[in-house]
Amino acid sequence: MSEMCEKQVLLGMSADDIAKLPLCEGFRARQIYGHLMDGRTFDEMTSLPKELRAALSSKYVASPVEILRIFKGKSGTKKYLYRLLDGGLIEGVYMPHDYGDTLCISTQIGCRMGCKFCASGLDGLLRNLTPAEMLGEVICANRENGGTAKKRAVTNIVLMGSGEPFDNYDNVLAFLDAVSAEGGINISERNISLSTSGVAPKIRQFAMSGHKVTLSISLHAPFDALRSSLMPINKAYPIAEVISAARYYFEKTGRRVIFEYTLIKGENDSDACAKELARLTRGFPAHVNLIRLNEVKESALKTPEKDATEAFKNKLTEIGVSATIRRSLGGDIEGACGQLRRRYLEENGEGEGK
């Protein structure tokens, strides 16, 4: 796909924007937009004249994303390795549920947050994803699972893959506009969750943006010293500042905040941690989503036993915390963000961008 980098990408544009382009004027713009939302290539846009399809292909790129590999796991879970126009690689995870099928997408190639338990940031941040690339992740997975814009296979989205969404703030907001646009794939923001490591000023800014997605904050430790050792961002935005921003988000949007808490054996699973977590989340609608660590080979951090995880959850509920244990999906297909991309690059002797 890299030879097409200089062509203009159509996916991510509105029908009105497409109508302003050469070859796309008038009613053709709406046709092209509909085909793009269904994930079709120019050759597959058979409602367009053959000559027009050839002309479009010579001048534009339909989508900046293609599925390079699919790894299938248990219970219908799929891990996607996507290739971008410049050769960059990103990952996504498709997770079927009774209430709808969820796609976890990436917002950056790599990450600069440096969380100790995450493979995404091992090589640092390579670049931000564009709104079109994020939308392309959704469109590709939706089509691969038999969906169209009108009959979606992907009904829920979580921005919880590689990258910190608020480190790519403007592009993420543009993506939210595009993926929820009427006439497009139109996934309601009520069905979208955004996960942040706790960029407190951006949480406050986002609260005023008019978007009303579910906000998930990666807390992972209730004490500043411990959290700073696991998540360097805590040195810039300590826990009190993050909790204050979370309360502000609820006040402005009316949406309950989710606190993600990855349990790490011997690190953040003590009684003291449970009591402090309860204190922090008391007084406003919040929920704690407990996650058993998905081990990364480059890290010495270990996963607690299932019984220990259940015991920690019971401690929380006994002292009044709304808490659940997230169902483990994707562990058998390297579900932790960044693992699949790193393995592919190692096995193929590739550097990013080749």
Q: Give the residue-averaged pLDDT of 29-54.
A: 97
The pTM score is 0.92
Query: Is 353 a residue whose pLDDT tops 90?
Result: no
Q: Among residues 3, 24, 91, 305, which one is catalytic?
A: 91
Report residue 322 as tokens. 């709304």
Q: Among residues 24, 111, 115, 337, which one is catalytic?
A: 337
Domain boundary among 43, 61, 79: 61
Burial 273-312 (b: 16+ CB within 10 A, else e): bbebbbebbeeeebbbbbbbbbbbeeeeeebbeeeebeeb
Neighbours of 19 (CB within 10 A): 17
Task: Let me know whether 123 and 20 are in one domain.
Answer: no
Q: How far apart are CA 230 and CA 258, in angstroms?
A: 19
Residue 43's Cβ-side half-sphere holds a number of Cα atoms within 13 Å equal to 0
Q: Report if residue 353 sits inside a domain.
A: no
Burial class (CB in 10 A: 0-12, 13-18, 19+), 173: middle
pLDDT given at position 2: 47
CA dist 131 → 137, 178, 274, 322, 351 (Å): 10, 8, 38, 34, 24
Task: Let me know whether 126 and 234 are in one domain.
Answer: yes
Q: Give the model's confidence band at 111: pLDDT under 50 very low, under 70 low, under 90 confident, else very high.
A: very high
Q: Report if residue 10 sits inside a domain.
A: yes
pLDDT given at position 300: 84
Q: Report if residue 198 sits inside a domain.
A: yes
SS3 18: helix
CB proximity list for 307: less than 8 A, separation 6 or greater: none
- Spell out where the chain has E strands: 8-9, 60-61, 65-72, 78-84, 89-95, 102-105, 108-110, 125-128, 156-159, 192-196, 214-218, 257-263, 286-292, 323-325
| Whether residue 337 lies in the annotated active site | yes
pLDDT given at position 339: 63
Q: Give the model's confidence band at 331: pLDDT under 50 very low, under 70 low, under 90 confident, else very high.
A: low
pLDDT given at position 6: 80
Structure-token match 């995404």, residue found? 120
pLDDT given at position 329: 54
CATH code of residue 252: 3.20.20.70
CA dist 157 → 95, 103, 154, 165, 213 (Å): 10, 5, 8, 13, 10
Task: Let me know whether 136 and 24 are in one domain.
Answer: no
Residue among 271, 280, 160 nearest 219 (CA): 280
User: In this prediction, what percent of the chain has a pLDDT beyond 70?
Assistant: 91
Task: Let me know whether 33 and 137 are in one domain.
Answer: no
Q: Report if residue 354 sits inside a domain.
A: no
Q: Give the model's confidence band at 5: pLDDT under 50 very low, under 70 low, under 90 confident, else very high.
A: low
pLDDT given at position 337: 56
Domain boundary among 22, 45, 61: 61
User: In this prediction, what percent of the chain has a pLDDT beyond 90?
Assistant: 81
Task: Let me know whether 273 and 286 are in one domain.
Answer: yes
CATH code of residue 18: 1.10.150
Task: Let me know whether 71 and 19 are in one domain.
Answer: no
Q: Give the residue-averaged pLDDT of 235-249.
A: 98
Tens of pLDDT along 67-107? 999 999 878 899 999 999 999 999 999 999 888 899 999 99
SS3 127: strand
Tens of pLDDT along 180-192? 999 999 999 999 9
Query: Is 7 a residue whose pLDDT tops 50?
Result: yes
Q: How far apart are CA 252 and CA 265, in angstroms?
A: 36
Phi-psi region of 75 (alpha: psi -120 to 50; beta: other; left: phi over 0): left
Task: Let me know whether 42 and 188 are in one domain.
Answer: no
Domain boundary among 61, 81, 100: 61
Task: Let me know whether 51 and 137 are in one domain.
Answer: no
Number of domains the chain contains: 2
Parent domain of 56: 2-61
Report residue 175 as tokens. 């993506």
Backbone angles phi, psi at 118, to 5 degrees: -120, 135
* 8 A C-beta contact, residue 335 and residue 72: no
